[in-house]
Chains A and B, each alone.
Chain A
Amino acid sequence: GAGVSQTPSNKVTEKGKYVELRCDPISGHTALYWYRQSLGQGPEFLIYFQGTGAADDSGLPNDRFFAVRPEGSVSTLKIQRTERGDSAVYLCASSQTQLAGVADTQYFGPGTRLTVL
Chain B
Amino acid sequence: KQEVTQIPAALSVPEGENLVLNCSFTDSAIYNLQWFRQDPGKGLTSLLLIQSSQREQTSGRLNASLDKSSGRSTLYIAASQPGDSATYLCAVGDSSYKLIFGSGTRLLVRP
Contacts and interface: CB of A to CB of B under 8 A. Distances in A.
A98 B96 contact: yes
Contact of A111 (B4, B43, B97): B43
B28 interface: no
Interface residues of B, number: 26
Interface in B35-65: 36, 41-46, 49, 51
Interface stretch (A65-73, A77-85, A101-109): A101-109
Contact of A33 (B45, B46, B97, B104): B97
A40 B10 CA distance: 11
A115 to B, nearest CB: 14
Interface of B: 4, 31-32, 34, 36, 41-46, 49, 51, 89, 91, 93, 95-104
Given A42-B91, A42-B104, 16 more contacts: A31-B97, A41-B103, A42-B4, A42-B102, A43-B89, A43-B101, A45-B100, A48-B98, A50-B97, A99-B96, A102-B31, A103-B96, A106-B46, A106-B99, A108-B45, A110-B43
